Amino acid sequence: SHAGLLNLCIVVLIAVNSRLIIENLMKYGLLIRAGFWFSARSLGDWPLLMCCLTLPIFPLAALMTEKWAQRKLIRDHVSILLHIIITTTVLIYPVVVILKCESAVLSGFVLMFIASITWLKLVSFAHTNYDIRVLSQSIEKGATHGSSIDEENIKGPTINSVVYFMLAPTLCYQPSYPRTAFIRKGWVTRQLLKCVVFTGLMGFIIEQYINPIVQNSKHPLKGNFLDAIERVLKLSVPTLYVWLCMFYSFFHLWLNILAELLRFGDREFYKDWWNAKTVEEYWRMWNMVIFSPILKNSYSGLTGNFLPADR
């Protein structure tokens, strides 16, 4: 048994990290200030807020495009072109606003994060509805005779389905999703408290440990190579803790909170990536929210349209 060796490693890990915490506090003191979460500069980012509030225009435009295509008011190639314009604009629009306003890094990051999610959702929306139209045309021609097709999964998009999809913790559009029977309010409250705590812990680590190291670092091309390596290694530990806090706060807490509030049934946001044996397996398991639409929209589309069926 290696239990004793494992316990020794845990003791050493605690001792080393405790020393780093004490050393940081002795050198810098407590760096968290009142302006960490909100400052006067944040008031100057109101154009970014307005940009964020206008992003729902693009899902509505995508819905109108699908409605026109469904009623055969426009042809498929026109609807595809419109979807390309919509999805491209949803990324360019916030970039232009950020560059024009010279916003704070955090505000710009949040806006681009929301815009990127909107873009991924709209891409899935366009792909899925195109497949639904093709399948509906096949049904009308009798080409799918004998195959079982769920009518719920070939319905055209509605305003309710689009709104639910844009709020749901998924990037794969479906006309309907599995739903839970009720909302566990007590569970949601506990998870919200955890989310606040771990988000605050993540901010504390960034402000207390990562920022001082970065600010005291030399330019990588001007300083000594060994100094650069030392700074990278010094950043590795707090960066790892920030990543773990981010993963737990976002993937485990926030997405499950959102799913519970929307009674969203499919909650496989990640798999046991900590048991992954290869890097490839790790990348497939740690972020199922992104991997699933990539597998559905990109890989399946390529294999279905360009690669032979036996591959």
User: Is a pLDDT exceeding 60 seen at residue 276?
Assistant: yes
Q: pLDDT > 70: what percent of the chain?
A: 85
Q: What is the pLDDT of residue 56?
A: 93
45 with 101: CB under 8 angstroms? yes
| Number of other residues whose CB lies within 10 A of the CB of residue 136 | 16
Q: What is the pLDDT of residue 301?
A: 55
70 with 106: CB under 8 angstroms? no
Digit-coded pLDDT (tens) for 230-272? 888 888 888 989 999 999 999 999 999 999 999 998 888 988 8
User: Is a pLDDT exceeding 60 seen at residue 300?
Assistant: no
Query: Who has greater pLDDT, 151 or 144?
Result: 151
Mean pLDDT over 33-60 rounds to 75
Mean pLDDT over 144-170 rounds to 79
User: Is a pLDDT exceeding 50 seen at residue 122?
Assistant: yes
Q: What is the pLDDT of residue 247?
A: 92
The pLDDT-based confidence of 152 (bands split at 50, 70, 90) is: low
Q: pLDDT > 90: what percent of the chain?
A: 33
Query: Who has greater pLDDT, 153 or 37?
Result: 153
Q: Tell me the C-alpha distance between 153 and 19, whole Å.
A: 57
DSSP string, the chain: --HHHHHHHHHHHHHHHHHHHHHHHHHH-----GGGT--GGGGGGHHHHHHHHHTTHHHHHHHHHHHHHHTTSS-HHHHHHHHHHHHHHHHHHHHHHHHHHT--HHHHHHHHHHHHHHHHHHHHHHHHHHHHHHHHHHHHHTTTTT----GGGGPPP-HHHHHHHHHSS-SS--S---B-SS--HHHHHHHHHHHHHHHHHHHHHIIIIIHHHHHTPPPTTTS-HHHHHHHHHHHHHHHHHHHHHHHIIIIIIIHHHHHHHTTB--------GGG-SSHHHHHHHS-HHHHHHIIIIIIHHHHHHTS-TT-
Burial label for 233, CB within 10 Å (0-12, 13-18, 19+), is: exposed
The least confident of 57-66, 99-108, 230-239 is 99-108
Distance of CA 311 to the CA centre of its chain: 31
| Mean pLDDT over each residue of the chain, to the nearest integer | 83
Digit-coded pLDDT (tens) for 124-149? 999 888 888 888 877 777 655 545 66
Burial 153-176 (b: 16+ CB within 10 A, else e): eeebbeeebbeebbebbbbbbbbe
The pLDDT-based confidence of 308 (bands split at 50, 70, 90) is: very low
Distance of CA 277 to the CA centre of its chain: 24
Mean pLDDT over 28-36 rounds to 67
Domain coordinates in residue numbering, the chain: 40-178
